Structure 1
Amino acid sequence: MTISHQRGAARPPVRGTDRSLARRAELLAIGRKLFADTPYDALSMDDIARQAHVAKGLIYYYFHSKRGYYLAIVQDSVADLVGFAASGRELPPGDRVHRTIDGYLRYAEHNHASYRTIVSGGVGFDAEVHAIRDGVREAIVTTIAEGAYGRQEIAPLARMGLLGWVCGVEGATLDWIDRPGLTRDDMRELLVRMLGGTLRAIEELDPAHPAPEPARRDV
């Protein structure tokens, strides 16, 4: 399928059709794999089209530019990850925290390339992608805060403690998917107990943020 295109004059597809949505999702999946291992500047649109086995015009048709394609890949991956991690809002707080961590790990386990792109900010430095990654961190902090404290608004010290834990989770999870020596269940329980230590440390420094009862029994 070949669609003629002039830069800056892309015609948006009919987004509401099942066929166009499926085609777009297919291109996003292909792009996740390509950009996971190759620097952004090293891939031309010709390279992308050749490796994806599609006409270059098709990529322009859906995403308007290489930049638009790349950002759509990152944003789509982020939506998936946050969706996995934030599920289970109907559960009790302790169960919700376990569900959040399990969903996070499950996403990383089954979407290596996308996860690396999100937490590493892409291959190389990209300020806009890093801003998206920071948004993911804040979303995870908010989800954990809701599970631990029953509210999203928390004091700066509590937020910094949870953010530090999230950054540690990112590094540990990257290593885990590269060297999968632990089961997901073991990895989840390790991270839960690390979170318990963080919550207790927050409580010691700021009694207005008491650790939930399960966190006091973790270690």
Structure 2
Amino acid sequence: MTSTSRTRLAPDARRAQLLDLGVRLLATRSLDELSIDVLAEEAGISRGLLYHYFGNKHAFHEAVVRRAADDLIAQTAPPVEGEPLERLLASVTAYVDYVTENYEGYVSLVKAASAGNETLREIYEEARSALVDRVFREDAQGTLLTDTPATRLVVRGWSALTEELVLTWQADPAGVSRDQLLGLLAGSLPALVGSLPPD
């Protein structure tokens, strides 16, 4: 007779494992559907262990959303080489792919942030700011835009426009191809900034 033993993980490693599972589950279900029961069943552990690591359902949701936001920022990082517009297109492409692969969870995050959950709104805003800030990042190839208050305002608006276009397109492409969407997103930022009056 053979017996199998479960690997005992350090608390930080177990918590990280549960967060990874939570993020994977969030890709295909809304935040409201991501319950302690669902995660416990998927992880093959007791509800009590999840409460031990996260305290309550809200703390669990917040931890999963923060991990998902960190994943979004990491996965959409532009390459360090290439012309600024090429790097922007690569980052926008990664963003579209991320939203496509994590649609249900992403939509529920946007809704939760706009519905008044302060912690989720804060996580959402931190992620949005990180995505906006990277447009102004300096590297060997230079930056696409000059960092001014007016340009930052435009980039912030473009970021909101990008999110709305991608979510709308994902829900109903309406004859617009992925390549057309990507071209629109990457081309609209320079066009918007180019419309700014000179200082």
TM range (shorter): 0.7 to 0.9
Is 2:162 the counterpart of 1:175? no
Q: Is the 8 A contact 2:23 2:64 kept in 1?
A: yes
Is 2:185 the counterpart of 1:191? yes
What is the DSSP-based 3-state SS (H/G/I as helix, E as strand, rest coil) of the residue aligned with 1:86? coil
| 1:71 shift after superposition | 0.7
For residues 105-124 of structure 1, the aligned pairs below 5 Å read: 105-122=96-113, 124=115
Task: Name the stretch that deviates more: 178-187 or 166-175.
Answer: 178-187
Q: Is the 8 A contact 2:99 2:106 kept in 1?
A: yes
Partner of 1:4: none
> 2:17 is aligned with what amino acid?
A
| 1:80 shift after superposition | 1.3
| 1:151 shift after superposition | 8.1
Q: Select 1:15's aligned residue among 3, 12, 15.
A: 12
Distance in 1, matches of 2:169 and 2:106, equals: 12
Q: Is the 8 A contact 2:26 2:105 kept in 1?
A: no
Distance in 2, matches of 1:191 and 1:26, equals: 31
Distance in 2, matches of 1:131 and 1:123, equals: 11
Q: Select 1:158's aligned residue among 139, 146, 151.
A: 151
Partner of 2:194: 200
Partner of 2:82: 91
Structure ranking higher on relative contact order (CA contacts 8 Å, 6+ apart): 2
Is 2:35 the counterpart of 1:48? yes
Partner of 2:20: 25
Segments of 4+ moved more than 6 angstroms: none
Distance in 2, matches of 1:59 and 1:180, equals: 39
For residues 139-154 of structure 1, the aligned pairs below 5 Å read: 139-146=130-137, 150=143, 154=147
Q: Which runs of 5+ in 1 are unaligned?
A: 1-11, 207-219
CA RMSD in angstroms, aligned pairs only: 2.9
Distance in 2, matches of 1:66 and 1:146, equals: 37
| 1:117 shift after superposition | 3.2
> 1:14 is aligned with what amino acid?
P
Aligned-residue sequence identity (percent) comes to 21
Q: TM-score, normalised by structure 2?
A: 0.78
